[in-house]
Amino acid sequence: MSDSNSSCMDGSYAEIVVVRHGETEWNADRRIQGHLDVELNEAGKQQAVLVADRLSKEPKISAVYSSDLKRALVTAETIAARCGGLERLARAWKSLALYVGLLSFLLVANQVITDPDLRERNLGDLQGLVFREAAKLSPKAHKAFLSHRTDQDIPGGGESLDQLFQRCTSSLQRIGKKHKGERVVVVSHGGVIRSLYQRACPNGKSGGKVLNTSVNIFHLSDEEWAIKSWGDVSHLHQTGYLKSGFGGDKTSG
């Protein structure tokens, strides 16, 4: 996806643009998703188009990474299609005009690199429940979810905050080491992004709510992490899609 213009730094760090996925129907219903594979709703698809258009006007990106869950992957594919130089490829294949649509679809799919370590936190028995009903329907899991212990896992195969932190920060570190001197996009989930914020600002206050398709820019240099921009949703201003979703805070899932 890159060309000689994709490098935007001096090579000592990677600039990683971390984007939360677009809204899903379960976000709108305040239903807990976790590892369940829920698709974007119409608002989420429009959010994905808006953030893709915004990123296409910024410095070139060299790669797009994503959680393998559909809500993140479709958001990432939308970004890749807008930012990945498909127009140049289509012109090169203009003699196969009847097949350009299929070709473009396959290229978009191949341009997004999926990583299960970028998935949302596994929330065990809470997954599929409406948040306001969770305490009644699964009290043990709900109590574990609200625990201040970071090593507390969730009944039903759910993860602790420590487990989530370890897998998603390790993933971003790997991406950063691979792409020094480049700008890349990572599409993930609210719980993951909050963990990444904690890694970059271990002694800081909470980053607050992570809105759907918010843009959060990290600079990674070896073991040093810094945040250049946080929670930017300027691409959603003047639309009806700014704060309609659920999650992205301590209820994220």
* Separation between Cα atoms, residue 210 and residue 248, nearest integer Å: 4
Residue 204 is predicted with a pLDDT of 77
Active-site positions read: 21, 120
* 176 is known to lie in a ligand binding site: no
Single pTM value for the model:
0.85
Identify the pLDDT of residue 86. 36
24 annotated ligand-binding residue: yes
Residue 42 annotated as lining a ligand binding site? no
- Which helix H or strand E contains 112, and what residues bound it? strand 112-114
- Give residue 89's pLDDT: 40
Q: What is the pLDDT along the chain (253 residues), one digit of tens a residue?
A: 433 344 446 689 999 999 999 999 999 999 999 999 999 999 999 999 999 999 999 999 999 999 999 999 999 999 999 997 533 343 444 444 445 455 544 444 448 999 999 999 999 999 999 999 999 999 999 999 999 999 999 999 999 999 999 999 999 999 999 999 999 999 999 999 999 999 999 987 778 889 999 999 999 998 899 999 999 999 998 666 555 554 555 555 6
* Count of other CB atoms within 10 angstroms of residue 166: 14
Task: Tell which CATH architecture fits domain 14-90+110-232.
Answer: 3-Layer(aba) Sandwich (3.40)
**Per-residue tokens: 173:** 């570190």
> Known binder of ligand: residue 20?
yes
Which residues, in sequence order, are CB contacts of 64 under 8 Å at separation 6+? 1, 76, 79, 80, 83, 84, 111, 112, 113, 184, 185, 186, 187
Token pair listed for 211: 């809105």
Q: What's the rounded Cα separation, in Å, for the pair 89 and 102?
A: 13
CA distance 245 to 239: 13
Contact yes or no for 15/73 (Cβ under 8 A): no
User: Known binder of ligand: residue 212?
Assistant: no
Q: How far apart are CA 5 and CA 23, in angstroms?
A: 32
pLDDT score of 99 = 52
The encoded tokens of residue 6 equal 């994709």
What secondary structure, in 3-state letters, does 36-68 show?
CCCCECHHHHHHHHHHHHHHHCCCCCCEEEECC
Domain ranges of the chain: 14-90+110-232
Q: Is 71 annotated as a binding residue?
A: yes
